[in-house]
């Protein structure tokens, strides 16, 4: 009985909230890693993995850590910023007001108000991680409130479906920061990241300690890649996120008579097969290619969902 339009709102509300958190994590990773480097070069890859280099240059600002951080944190004209994501969460929630809990609306309003306040602040780089923590805390209360107060209806399913897909997508980009340079076989500048970088990354997906427990003392970076991508016990892994998405599709059919249809099922299967058979060695060019293909599969699934549920005849 849910209107297609609201299903779409719920889906995107989930996606944008996840995006705000992922961006905050991405900035924290970059900041903590770039801290002991002498120039701001460490910030350029973020622009590349989001295909944002051109958009950033259009703003005519030099490529400094602070400018890139501001571009992704509080630039409302950048559709891929935390500020834009928070705005879109609010606007989608606004349309859904009568279908979501008052507690979650209240939290979203306050969250967005905080982000707007941030927009007015000219923060220094030293404050970046504090700000990112604040955003992440907003995300955590959001998830908690959603979990604790949402009626488990179609709105909930679509919201969690959108969130899961976005999470899957964003984690691949997080890893790709160090691997997109392997795009070309002949790129000799591409150097694999060291253990320190992987540790930072593991911490950013709340997987560092679990990884230490799971793996031998002298674990390989490729093990870390596999862990973050495919471990189904790690809630932020791509596999976990994708499985969560598949589960929501299944429940939509089972509980709400909203059959996914052949295109959605096929797209989901493609993604699932891909994640079930990663390349033997997850490093270098094969890893980059794999991440790329996963992203394409996720996009394919999102398109199929859009066709099936959000664009009724």
Partner 1 sequence: MIKTNLFDDYDQGNEFCEIFGPAAAIDDASLLAKRLSKYKIRTLNQRNRAAERELHNLGITFTIYSDAGAIDRILPFDPIPRQITATDWEKLDAGCKQRVTALNAFLTDIYSKQKILKDGIVPSDLVLKNQHFCKEMMDVSLVHNTYTHISGVDLIRDETGEFLVLEDNCRSPSGVSYVIENRHLMMRSFPDLMEGMKILPVSDYGKRLRGKLMETAPPGIQNPQVALLTPGVFNAAYFEHIFLAREMGVPLVEGRDLIVDDQDRVFMKTISGLVRIHVLYRRIDDEFLDPEVFRKDSMLGVPGVMRALKGGKVSIANAVGAGVADDKAVYAYMPRIIDYYLGEEAILNNVKTYICREEDDLNYVLDNLKDLVVKPVGESGGYGIVVGPKATKEELSAIKNELKKKPDNYIAQPMINLSVCPTLTPNGVRSRHVDLRPFVLTGEDSWVLPGGLSRVAMREGSIIVNSSQGGGSKDTWVMR
Give the total of residues touching partner 1 (CB under 8 A).
24
- Please, which residue, 220 or 253, has the CB nearer to partner 1? 253
Cβ atoms of residues 200 and 32 within 8 Å: yes
- Which member of 5, 233, 266, 281 binds partner 1 (CB under 8 A)? 5
Q: Is 120 in the site for partner 1 (CB under 8 A)?
A: no
Q: Which residue in the block uniquely carries the two structure tokens 């910023």?
A: 81
Longest Cα separation, the chain: 57
Q: Is 3 in the site for partner 1 (CB under 8 A)?
A: yes
Q: Is 258 in the site for partner 1 (CB under 8 A)?
A: yes
CA–CA gap between residue 19 and residue 117 (Å, rounded): 19
Q: How far is the CB of 80 from partner 1 (least distance, A)?
A: 19
Q: Is 233 in the site for partner 1 (CB under 8 A)?
A: no
Q: Is 252 in the site for partner 1 (CB under 8 A)?
A: yes
For the residues of 218-249, what is the DSSP string, one character each? T--HHHHHHHHHH-TTSTTSHHHHHHHHHHHH
- Which member of 37, 41, 106, 133 binds partner 1 (CB under 8 A)? 106
For the residues of 40-55, what is the DSSP string, one character each? GGGGHHHHHHTT-HHH
Cα 31-32-37 angle, rounded to 5 deg: 80
Site for partner 1 in 38-97 (CB under 8 A): 91, 94-95, 97
Q: Is 303 in the site for partner 1 (CB under 8 A)?
A: no
- Which member of 57, 64, 77, 109 binds partner 1 (CB under 8 A)? 109
Which of the ranges 24-32, 53-61, 183-191, 253-261 carries the binding residues for partner 1, by CB under 8 A?
Answer: 253-261
- Which member of 1, 186, 216, 276 binds partner 1 (CB under 8 A)? 1
Cβ atoms of residues 167 and 20 within 8 Å: no
- Which member of 126, 216, 218, 257 binds partner 1 (CB under 8 A)? 257
Relative orientation angle of helices 4-34 and 65-73, to the nearest 10 degrees: 160
Q: Which residue in the block uniquely carries the two structure tokens 């279908």?
A: 99
Q: What 3-state DSSP class applies to 296?
A: helix
Site for partner 1 in 141-170 (CB under 8 A): 154
Q: Is 256 in the site for partner 1 (CB under 8 A)?
A: yes
- Please, which residue, 107 or 239, has the CB nearer to partner 1? 107
Task: Give the residue among 177, 168, 200 at the shortest CA–CA distance from 275.
Answer: 168
- Residues engaged in binding partner 1 (CB under 8 A): 1-5, 7, 91, 94-95, 97-99, 102, 105-106, 109-110, 154, 252, 256-258, 309, 312
């Amino acid at each position: 009985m849910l209107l297609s339009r609201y299903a779409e709102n719920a889906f995107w509300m989930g996606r944008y909230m996840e995006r705000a958190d992922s961006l905050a994590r991405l900035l924290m990773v970059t900041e903590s890693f770039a801290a002991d480097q002498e120039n701001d070069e460490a910030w350029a890859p973020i622009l590349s993995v989001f295909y944002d280099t051109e958009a950033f240059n259009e703003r005519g600002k030099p490529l400094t850590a602070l400018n890139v951080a501001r571009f992704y944190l509080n630039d409302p004209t950048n559709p891929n910023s935390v500020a834009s994501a928070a705005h879109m969460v609010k606007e989608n929630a606004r349309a859904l007001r009568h279908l979501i809990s008052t507690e979650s609306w209240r939290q979203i309003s306050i969250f967005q108000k905080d982000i707007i306040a941030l927009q007015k602040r000219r923060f220094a780089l030293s404050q970046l991680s504090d700000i990112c923590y604040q955003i992440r805390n907003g995300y955590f209360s959001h998830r908690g409130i959603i979990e604790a107060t949402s009626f488990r209806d179609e709105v909930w399913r679509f919201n969690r479906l959108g969130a899961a897909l976005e999470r899957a997508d964003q984690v691949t980009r997080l890893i790709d920061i160090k691997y997109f340079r392997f795009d070309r076989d002949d790129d000799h500048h591409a150097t694999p990241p060291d253990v320190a970088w992987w540790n930072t990354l593991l911490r950013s997906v709340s997987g560092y300690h679990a990884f230490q427990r799971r793996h031998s003392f002298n674990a390989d970076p490729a093990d870390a890649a596999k862990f973050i991508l495919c471990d189904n016990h790690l809630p932020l892994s791509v596999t976990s996120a994708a499985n969560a998405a598949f589960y929501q599709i299944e429940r939509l059919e089972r509980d709400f008579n909203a059959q996914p249809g052949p295109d959605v099922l096929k797209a989901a299967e493609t993604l699932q097969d891909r994640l079930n058979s990663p390349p033997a060695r997850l490093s270098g060019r094969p890893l980059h290619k794999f991440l790329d293909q996963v992203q394409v599969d996720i996009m394919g699934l999102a398109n199929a969902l859009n066709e099936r549920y959000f664009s009724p005849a």
